[in-house]
Amino acid sequence: MLPSAMSKFHKNLFSLKILTMFLCVFFTAVSDGAAEPGKGVLRGKVTINGDKANHAVVALMKKDGSPFAASPMGKTIAQEALQFSPVFSIVTLGSTISFENRDDKIHNVWSRSPTNPFDIGSHLPNTVKQVILKNKGAVSLRCKVHVEMNALIYVSSSPFFSATDKDGHFEIEDIPFGSYEVETWHASLAPKEMGAGRQLIEIAPKTEAVHLAFKSKAGTAKDLSNVAGQNWLPVVEEIRIALAKALSSWQKRRTTSAAGKVMTSQSRLFRGSGLRSAIANTLGEPRAIDHDLRFDQIRKWVQGLSKTPVLEPELKQAIDALVADLKKDVQVFEGL
């Protein structure tokens, strides 16, 4: 090769190396942070009464209150070994929940959620039933067959959300730059307490970590997810009617029928509706136990199992007093 040709060849090779280096630097920069231009991250922690809050939901809402266009999700919740799995989930509006019964027993899934109430009925082994959650809020899951089973789904109206870990930390990624309102939900917080903690935040290239601190009157050990925001008076009214029918059967000397109606009012209405759990979580287990004992006493009276026969005025007074105290309890819930 001639010297002039060699010189030209080396110059072209050098130019090619420079171009290659430039492209490498460019694409590295893109992959390291410019792939999502104009997006940031929000990190922080949630505390309640100074304690780390596990399973709190932190979501970003538009400052002007207009809705986000969040895509529905698909979520599977299994019933396995007499438990729901997972016990805590977050989904977006319109998401489909598939309940899979992996046990060899019949189950049931229901919720008294004020925004997404449902009851799938009997759930046979090795079958799947689905529910679409269309509205925002907490959805407490229960099983009428196995009352010890419970779980919770939170339905978010925002696609920008995160759940806190056991240390109260959370992280929300890929947030477009701009102003947002931070909204927090936790099972131990009443609606007014959650509202007091809302705050505005600016998502920028370097957004500072936030500390979301709340005060809970009920305390972090209490679960208000199946209490606050619900109307329990219809349940109390059903209990009143059932006990009135029990009294009528007792007056006609139908003691077996009367006892059955009292047991139904206690097991299906007081316990099965979730009212007992709501009272225990809000007013304390001793209060719930006291109501159970009063149901038991009324049942023993109508069955003729007490040491001394009960008189009608005494029985009627006991029923009226129990119903009146249940009404007082649910009025406390309304103030949450």
Mean pLDDT over 208-231 rounds to 82
Pull the structure tokens for residue 140.
Answer: 């407490």
Tell me, what's the pLDDT at 223?
81
pLDDT in tens, 138-176: 999 999 889 889 899 999 999 999 999 999 999 999 999
Residue 336 has pLDDT above 90, yes or no: no
Residue 111 has pLDDT above 70, yes or no: yes
Taking alpha carbons only, the member of 115, 98, 114, 144 closest to residue 334 is 114
**Burial class, 158, CB count within 10 angstroms (exposed 0-12 / middle 13-18 / buried 19+):** buried
Dist. CA 137–CA 282, nearest whole Å: 19
Residue 10 has pLDDT above 80, yes or no: no
Would you kindly state where each structural domain of the chain is located, as residue ranges?
Answer: 44-214, 233-334
The model's pTM is 0.71
Tell me, what's the pLDDT at 2?
45
Could you tell me the sign of the dihedral formed by the alpha carbons of 117, 120, 121, 123, in that order? negative
Beta strand pairing status for 88-92 and 150-156?
parallel
Superfamily of chain region 44-214: Cupredoxins -  blue copper proteins (2.60.40.420)
Tell me, what's the pLDDT at 219?
83
Tell me, what's the pLDDT at 229?
62
Mean pLDDT over 24-40 rounds to 51
Residue 288 has pLDDT above 80, yes or no: yes
Q: How many CB atoms are located within 10 Å of the residue 156 CB?
A: 25
Lowest average pLDDT, out of 12-26, 87-101, 117-131, 267-281, goes to: 12-26
Tell me, what's the pLDDT at 213?
96
Mean pLDDT over 33-56 rounds to 85
Residue 232 has pLDDT above 90, yes or no: no
Query: What percent of the chain has a predicted confidence (pLDDT) above 70?
Result: 87
